[in-house]
Amino acid sequence: MTDNGSTWPPDHRDPRVFQPPQPLHHDPRDRDPRPADPGGPGDSPWRRTQRLSRPEAAGWHSAPASHHTGPGEGDTGAYRQPDDEDGYDDQDDTGGRFVPGFGDHGDEDDEDDHHGRRGRAPRGPRGPRRRRFRWIAPLVALLVILIPVGIGGAYAYSLYMSKYHPADYPGPGTGHLVVQVPSGATPTSLGPELARLGVVASARAFVLAAEHSSNPNGLLPGFYGMHLHMKASLAYALLLDQKNLVQVTVTIPEGWRLSQIVAYLGAKSGIPASAYQSVLNNPAQLHLPAYANGKPEGYLFPATYEVLPHETALGVLTGMVQRFEQEAAQLNLPTAARQVHLTEGQVVIMASLVEAEGGRVSDYPKIARVIYNRLAQGIPLQLDSTVLYGLHSYGIIASDAQLASTSPYNTYKYKGLTPGPIDSPGAAAIQAVLNPAAGNWIYFVTVNPKTGLTLFTASQTQFEQYRAELEHNLGRG
């Protein structure tokens, strides 16, 4: 109706009323530029616009159509319903009718259609093919969860078992071995060593046995007779019983320095080295000979000793000093020393030099004679062993830098004997000093340290040749 009350002609439409757009011809082979609605068939603004833009909204029905471009041109093709094999399943608002641009096979199918359907074989439904491997993703997710949980559970279980139910042997064990319990040892520190030796099955079992014992801190230092493959509780109980302490044998070789003796006793006697060092710091309690001048070096006689259970460091060292005095008494040292015009202390010092330089015991009297000859002629002894001792070092040949040291034990720099012994000489070295060989040698060189071969001479030229041979054997020339 117009503004003046009249009605619009039938062939005209009221411009004030919204008219849906007229359907346009759309070739189903052309791709629809509009993206598919990801939100589904809900009443979204896009859906409303979509419905308004569809041909059905204007009452359009499929019908044969043709398009003529001009005179003389024929029908270029008629619109037809898509084949079922194309897979169009849109049942949204169209009642099963095909809507151009809204197929469900996606862009790939549309693109194939755009290139032509006639040359392509019909494609079957894709639904089952896609559903075939849908079980893989949940399985992978389940494995990702279960594998770490399983590993963590196994690890936690092993920790629990090792802590509260560790490996343990069932019985008293077999065989026999001696085990040392160091001073200050605890079940925690001793357990790994017992497990390594095969006494107990695990260190943790031994620690638990100590914790469950009425005397968890009752370990005493010493050597104990034990068995292999013992139940941990039985092993700990054995160590608490001092009746199982055994006697220990230690052997001190000739020519060892005091520092070597202390380290060895600390490792082998069941008494810590610190206990020995504490005694040596107060040497008066050792009752050394007067000519020792209060210095233990040289007076701990090298021999084999039995360290009894419950022995102390003072007891062990005192026994070694007493053994030296026994040897000195057998040699009648005061009288024998006077016969060679030496004091008892000088005999011990010279014997320590012979012990340090000698390769073979049979050469000891000759080495003693060389020292006597040099002292008589006022020649420095020039012994590398004394230089190295003064520098708290070890070796065969002293370097040029070491030879330049100002130590009182440097017999290249100072004439005469050293201030004191440089090691603990044995009976053979003392006997060699008291009974030296006859000869005019003033040089000797142990040319082969491996075999102990020692050569003697009174010629400096010959000495230099011997020295070169030694250096060659040592790999220096």
- At 323 the pLDDT is 97
Does the pLDDT at position 119 exceed 60? no
- At 46 the pLDDT is 44
C-alpha span between 236 and 306 (Å, rounded): 26
C-alpha span between 477 and 469 (Å, rounded): 8
Residue 72, helix vs strand vs coil: coil
pLDDT grade, residue 392 (50/70/90)? very high
Lowest mean pLDDT among 81-95, 255-269, 437-451: 81-95
Does the pLDDT at position 80 exceed 50? no
Overall average pLDDT of the 404-421 stretch: 97
Does the pLDDT at position 62 exceed 70? no
What is the maximal distance between C-alpha atoms in the chain?
Answer: 166
At 245-304, the pLDDT tens digits run 888 899 999 999 999 999 999 988 888 899 999 999 999 999 999 999 999 999 999 999
pLDDT grade, residue 5 (50/70/90)? low
Q: Which residues pair with 306 in a beta bridge?
A: 249
Does the pLDDT at position 363 exceed 60? yes
- At 218 the pLDDT is 82
Residue 250, helix vs strand vs coil: strand
The answer to whether residues 292 and 298 touch, using CB atoms and an 8 Å cutoff, is yes
Does the pLDDT at position 320 exceed 70? yes
- Mind listing the domains of the chain with CATH numbers? 174-246 (3.30.1490.480), 342-477 (no CATH)
Give the DSSP letter string of 449-464: TTTTEEEEES-HHHHH
Overall average pLDDT of the 141-166 stretch: 71
Does the pLDDT at position 448 exceed 70? yes
Overall average pLDDT of the 355-381 stretch: 96
C-alpha span between 126 and 117 (Å, rounded): 18
Residue 445, helix vs strand vs coil: strand
Overall average pLDDT of the 173-187 stretch: 88
Residue 251, helix vs strand vs coil: strand
Does the pLDDT at position 11 exceed 90? no
pLDDT grade, residue 408 (50/70/90)? very high
Q: In terms of C-beta density within 10 A (0-12 exposed, 13-18 middle, 19 or more buried), how is residue 13 classed?
A: exposed
Tell me the average pLDDT of the chain: 80
Residue (of 306, 308, 286, 309) closest to 298 by Cα position: 286
Do you know the residue count of the chain?
477
pLDDT grade, residue 40 (50/70/90)? very low
C-alpha span between 86 and 458 (Å, rounded): 119
- At 152 the pLDDT is 72
- At 223 the pLDDT is 87
- At 332 the pLDDT is 96
C-alpha span between 183 and 270 (Å, rounded): 7
- Quote the tokens at residue 474: 């040592």
Taking the CA atoms of 53, 57, 63 and 65 in sequence, report the sign of the dihedral they define: negative
The answer to whether residues 397 and 470 touch, using CB atoms and an 8 Å cutoff, is yes
Q: Within a 13 Å sphere around the CA of 333, how many CA atoms are in the beta-carbon half?
A: 19
Lowest mean pLDDT among 36-50, 140-154, 258-272, 458-472: 36-50
Strands 304-307 and 453-457: unpaired
C-alpha span between 221 and 54 (Å, rounded): 101
Does the pLDDT at position 235 exceed 70? yes
Lowest mean pLDDT among 173-187, 392-406, 449-463: 173-187
The answer to whether residues 86 and 117 touch, using CB atoms and an 8 Å cutoff, is yes
Does the pLDDT at position 98 exceed 90? no
Residue 225, helix vs strand vs coil: strand
Q: Residue type at 11? A: D
pLDDT grade, residue 162 (50/70/90)? low
Overall average pLDDT of the 323-342 stretch: 96
- At 440 the pLDDT is 96
pLDDT grade, residue 53 (50/70/90)? very low
Residue 379, helix vs strand vs coil: coil
C-alpha span between 67 and 55 (Å, rounded): 18
Does the pLDDT at position 111 exceed 50? no
The structure's pTM equals 0.61
Overall average pLDDT of the 319-346 stretch: 97
Overall average pLDDT of the 163-176 stretch: 86
- At 331 the pLDDT is 95
